[in-house]
């Protein structure tokens, strides 16, 4: 089953970041609680949303926030790099980055979806670039990590979920429901497995969004906590947390890429299930 193999690859990539975060996240959580009781330092302050341009229509708040600003910056950055860059016979550094990113996503899409995946490539490519840009921009000091908010990641996951569901029913009609009936399973097992498959299907947006949100939030919280240790311990005792913070920063750049990759691969797998529900 091809989707199972790809899900295993994506799961292994996700576990790399999650396991790396595991022990340090527990330390960060305890330190954050202690700091919170102290009344001064708050590592979660960096995730607060503030309105920059207040806009209210009746009871609905349409304010342009710091989260909105950094989403616009992410889209603008990707647009500038990929649409307004020069294309030369001998590529420069920026052109090489564009071509590598294009080939990277195109190869993954082709391997999983084959020729049927061509119509979905622009969506998958744009999704990957947006998440990657948002994750990387969040590594800039005093910036804002939009993917650390569950509402943002859940909205992206719901778009993927609805796209896959609509494609499945448009292409196969009610035969798409075969996705919930595993092939080769004895009939007496169906009353047990079918509800499990249905539950698993409808929890896809939750698992997809929580994975990205939790990893980004935990990582940035750890960085904030260890940065506070550097300041609190000063020149004499701050070298150990400083070294840890440098190592965690490198890890966070890796996690930022891995989470964009995992989100993209799982999105492609869900589209593949819509195209081939019998698998």
Read off the pLDDT of residues 98-156 as tens digits, 9 standing for 90 and up.
899 999 999 999 999 988 889 999 999 999 999 999 999 999 888 899 999 999 999 99
Which pLDDT score, from 0 to 100, does residue 121 have? Answer: 94
How far apart, in whole angstroms, are the C-alpha atoms of residue 162 and residue 158? 6
Which pLDDT score, from 0 to 100, does residue 260 have? Answer: 95
Which pLDDT score, from 0 to 100, does residue 155 have? Answer: 96
Which pLDDT score, from 0 to 100, does residue 149 have? Answer: 92
Q: Are 264 and 217 in contact (CB under 8 A)?
A: no
47 CB burial (10 A radius; 0-12, 13-18, 19+): middle
**DSSP SS3 for 64:** strand
Owner of token pair 């744009």: 126
Q: Are 13 and 262 in contact (CB under 8 A)?
A: yes
Q: What are phi and psi of 56, to 5 degrees?
A: -130, 130
Cα 135 from chain centroid? 8
CA dihedral 91→97→103→105, nearest 10 degrees, is -160
Owner of token pair 């529900």: 277
Low-confidence ranges of the chain (pLDDT < 50): 1-2, 9, 16, 20, 23-39
- Note the maximum CA span of the chain: 69
Structure tokens at 19: 């396991």
CB atoms within 10 A of CB 178: 15
**Bridge partner residues of 61 (DSSP):** 56
């Amino acid at each position: 089953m091809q989707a199972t193999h790809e899900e295993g690859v994506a799961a292994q990539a996700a576990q790399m970041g999650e396991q790396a975060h595991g022990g340090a996240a527990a330390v960060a959580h305890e330190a954050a609680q202690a700091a919170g009781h102290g009344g001064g330092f708050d590592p979660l302050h960096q995730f607060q949303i503030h309105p920059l341009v207040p806009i209210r229509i009746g009871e609905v708040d349409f304010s342009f926030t710091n989260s909105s600003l950094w989403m616009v910056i992410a889209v603008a950055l990707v647009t500038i790099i990929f649409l307004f860059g020069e294309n030369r016979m001998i590529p420069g550094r920026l052109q090489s980055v564009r071509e590598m990113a294009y080939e990277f996503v195109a190869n993954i899409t082709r391997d999983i979806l084959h020729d049927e995946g061509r119509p979905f490539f622009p969506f998958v490519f744009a999704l990957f670039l947006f998440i990657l840009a948002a994750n990387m921009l969040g590594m800039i000091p005093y910036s804002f990590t939009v993917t650390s908010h569950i509402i943002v990641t859940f909205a992206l996951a719901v778009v993927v979920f609805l796209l896959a569901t609509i494609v499945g029913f448009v292409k196969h009609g009610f035969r798409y429901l075969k996705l919930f009936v595993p092939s080769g399973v004895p009939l007496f097992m169906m009353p047990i497995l079918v509800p499990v498959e249905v539950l698993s299907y409808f929890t896809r947006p939750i698992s997809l969004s929580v994975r990205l949100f939790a990893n980004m939030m935990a990582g940035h919280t750890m960085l904030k906590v260890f940065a506070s240790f550097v300041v609190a311990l000063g020149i004499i005792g701050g070298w150990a947390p400083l070294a840890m913070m440098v190592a965690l920063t490198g890890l966070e750049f890796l996690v930022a890429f891995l989470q964009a990759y995992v989100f993209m691969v799982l999105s492609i797998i869900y589209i593949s299930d819509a195209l081939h529900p019998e698998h």
